[in-house]
Amino acid sequence: MYLLSIAVISHERPEMLGEMLNSLNKISSKDMFEVYVCDNSVLKKDLIKEICDNYSTIGYFSDPGCSQRQNFINALKFSNSKFISFAHDDDYFNFTSKDINLIKEKLYNSKQDKIFYFRSISFSFNKPYFLYKFKGRISKPYSLGSFPFKLPVFPSIVYPKTKKFIELFNSYHENNFDCGKYSDIPFVESVLEMYKYRSSILAGFYIHIVHPLNDSSTTDYISRFKLILHTFRKINFLQYPKFILVILIHTTKLILKKLF
């Protein structure tokens, strides 16, 4: 069994997948680490396979045309590790040799009683180029940090692959858990609740890229509204006034930004 699986969720973006795999080539060649691509591409599946074939230490699993949800399920089933992370094909990691050794030491000594996460930074193809860097502690409830966003980016999170995590993961998917816009936040929140919000930072960086072809470049207002309602259900009523004020201020800033 490996110590950590990094599963790259891939869909029709071979040119960006290459950047991600380049960033993982160093860690994939080390013992105790498993890196593989789970791809559901149809139009560019041959190109995806061709890119993956260039990396002898990186695995490849293809299920053409399957749903995004099934792609995540395949990624979990394919892993053989103590911990797992679900990376996106259009981002990349930054690891030094020292980082890899620190990751190995920290995970090896873990009792699988918490989640881990890599430091994460968000960049954009357009101005402003630098968007976000997670600072401070994870909010309680986790969804409280979603508006305005002040959370670790979803793919930077590393989960203990325990029986109770697998059961929670499968439960979400069996109940039509949507892997789309903002749906990752309630899922991560459930995992954190399961581990009583215990978490720790790993060495290295996850670089999140916002570009015209990914979900982060657009706003799904219905999903955003549903997430706000979810947060209201999670917080104490005494927190309502402050949360409403934050929503109003942040919404006003977004409107002014679009106007000017």
CA-nearest of 61, 63, 82, 66 to 3 is 82
Q: Is 45 within 8 Å of 65 (Cβ atoms)?
A: no
Phi-psi region of 65 (alpha: psi -120 to 50; beta: other; left: phi over 0): left
The Cα–Cα gap between 2 and 20 comes to 20
- Residue 196's φ and ψ, nearest 5 degrees, are 55, 35
In what helix (H) or strand (E) does residue 124 lie, and over which residues does it extend?
strand 115-124
Domain boundaries, the chain: 2-259
Q: Is the pTM of this model over 0.85?
A: yes
Nearest to 143 by CA among 227, 71, 26: 227
The predicted-structure confidence for 190-209, as pLDDT tens digits, reads as follows 999 999 999 999 999 999 99
- The matching CATH number, chosen from 3.90.550.10, 3.40.50.970, 3.30.70.520, 2.40.30.10, for 2-259 is 3.90.550.10
- CA atoms of 211 and 138, how far apart (whole Å): 26
Handedness of CA 173, 222, 227, 86 (dihedral sign): positive
For 87-127, how does the pLDDT look when each residue is reduced to its tens digit (9 = 90+)?
999 999 999 999 999 999 999 999 999 999 999 999 887 76
Within 10 angstroms of residue 88's Cβ, the number of other Cβ atoms is 23
Chunked mean pLDDT (size 10), the chain, 260 residues: 97 94 96 97 97 97 94 95 97 96 97 96 78 86 91 96 95 68 87 97 95 59 87 94 92 77
